[in-house]
Amino acid sequence: MKNSRRSFITKAAVAAAMTPFASLSTFGQGLTEAIDKTPKPSPPSDLKITDVRCAYSGGGLFVKISTNQDIVGYGEAVDAIGGTYYLVQRLGRQLNGRSPLSPNVIFEQFRKQAFFGGAQSGMYVAVLSAFDAALWDLCGKALGLPIYQLLGGKFRDKVRVYCDTQLYSVRNPKPEEYAKVARAAIDRGYTAIKFDIDEANDPNKFDRWNWTASNAEIERMYNSIAAARKEVGPHIDICVDMHGRYDAPTGRKVAKVMEPLNLMWLEEPVPADNVDVYKTITQETSTPICGGENFYLTYGYTRLLSEAAIDIIMPDLQKCGGLGEGQRIANIANAYYTPFSPHMVGSFLGAMATAHVCASVPNFHILEWQSASDTEPKWKDIVKYDKPFIEKGFLVVSDKPGIGVEINEEGLKKYATPNVPFFE
């Protein structure tokens, strides 16, 4: 029996070799490949990354990671993203065929491999942040869990946000305008609001390049915020941002002058790069001093915290390293009894991704929210989300698998950066 079977196989092989239709075997191989490439339910252990693409739109970088299981992950980066298209392509190629289920491992590999290539800060870390969020999104979708659950569970169901009034879009606003936008924000349910008081066009400024504020400028700053405080009363939280533009004597003076207004914080009264100056201001005023939106990775925050140079930290999770690193930064801050109040200027995808981390740490304080996201149609166009973004000053953390917010690629395309490939 054995012999006759073997001889049949041999004869068949000889016949196949002699056939003029040699391409028959190629046909069979193509069919196998096609079946392999068809998305189908399979265990998360079989999940593999098949493609990584990106789009630049609405001021952000959006990374899309596709898989062999018909699920995709999206992540966002902001600010430090110009000129990063080819970096995304290069990192994306390294992920093809890999499982996305270990975002911390991939994060550390990407960070370490560019240790001599700029992985300490800037564009590299911003891109890494978008990859990290997209990987967490995929993990959640593959395992059927929201990201906060993968991060260890949630301390809260909703995260408090402050409304950045965006009065900076008005040139030299008067104190009554501060009062007016403050009222409008609290009427929409916010319990915390933010104003910018740095003003390059202040007519009382003596010199374009020097950032020592004149007495009249400091008076303008005080009167503006005092008008808002008078309008909203003592229980609404007011944050004030100076965008790191002023010098040390001005920063010290403004922090002192603002003390009677009981601010929630004074943000970047001086550039946060010089920890020594920051520490001086923080330690000599009762006004809480915060900053950190331009720092990267856990290392960016260690000295600020260990030297008590800052009262509140505000990493931007679409820039500082992503969701895993954002949680690590928050945990380090917690050891210094320091609140974690993330900077956020991304889309609702970035806001919700950040909210998962905010939910997962005890020392979360408050999250940034832009007033324009309530009013400009762009922000609703670019995502798919079936509930209000903000409810009475809180962002309700999604219980859906992954981030819980999808990108609407058609909507996103409307605002795409010209001359840059869009998810190609």
Summarize as ranges the residues that interact with Mg ion (CB under 5 A): 241, 267
| Residue with smaller CB distance to Mg ion, 267 or 325 | 267
**Least distance in angstroms from the C-beta of 363 to Mg ion:** 19
CB 198 to Mg ion: min, Å: 10
Q: Which of 161, 156, 130 is nearest to 360 (CA)?
A: 156
| Least Cβ distance, residue 270 to Mg ion (angstroms) | 13
Nearer to Mg ion, 185 or 239 (CB): 239
Q: Which is nearer to Mg ion, 305 or 314 (CB)?
A: 314
State the nearest-atom distance from the C-beta of 213 to Mg ion, in Å.
17
Nearer to Mg ion, 79 or 217 (CB): 79
Residue 206 identity (one-letter amino acid)? F
What does DSSP say about strands 265-267 and 289-291: parallel, antiparallel, or unpaired?
parallel
- Smaller CB separation from Mg ion, 76 or 293: 293
User: CA dist 37 to 33, 44, 97, 242, Å?
Assistant: 6, 16, 12, 53
Q: Is 206 helix (H, G, I), strand (E, B) or coil?
A: coil
Q: How far is the CB of 191 from Mg ion (least distance, A)?
A: 20
The residue with its CB nearest to Mg ion is: 241
To which H or E segment does residue 228 belong?
helix 215-232
Nearest to 332 by CA among 367, 357, 295, 306: 306
What is the length of the chain? 424
Strands (E), 18-101: 49-57, 60-67, 72-78
Contact residues for 419 (Cβ-Cβ < 8 A; gap 6+) = none
Tokens of 66: 């596709």
**Short-list 138, 51, 69, 62, CA closest to 100:** 138
Strand pairing of 406-407 and 265-267? unpaired
Give least dist CB 87 to Mg ion, A: 25
Helix or strand run (H / E) with residue 196: strand 192-196
Shortest reach from residue 355's CB to Mg ion, in Å: 19
Task: Choose between 75 and 292: whose C-beta lies nearer to Mg ion.
Answer: 292
Q: Which is nearer to Mg ion, 68 or 370 (CB)?
A: 370
Q: Which amino acid is at 296?
A: Y
Residue 130 C-alpha from the chain's centroid:
8
In the bound state with Mg ion, the residue whose beta carbon lies nearer, of 81 and 345, is: 345
Least separation, in Å, of the C-beta of 79 and Mg ion?
A: 11
Q: How far apart are CA 396 and CA 327, in angstroms?
A: 19
- Shortest reach from residue 338's CB to Mg ion, in Å: 17
Q: Which amino acid is at 203?
A: P
Comparison of 239 and 412: residue with beta carbon closer to Mg ion: 239
CA 177/CA 206 separation, integer angstroms = 24
Residue 270 DSSP label? S
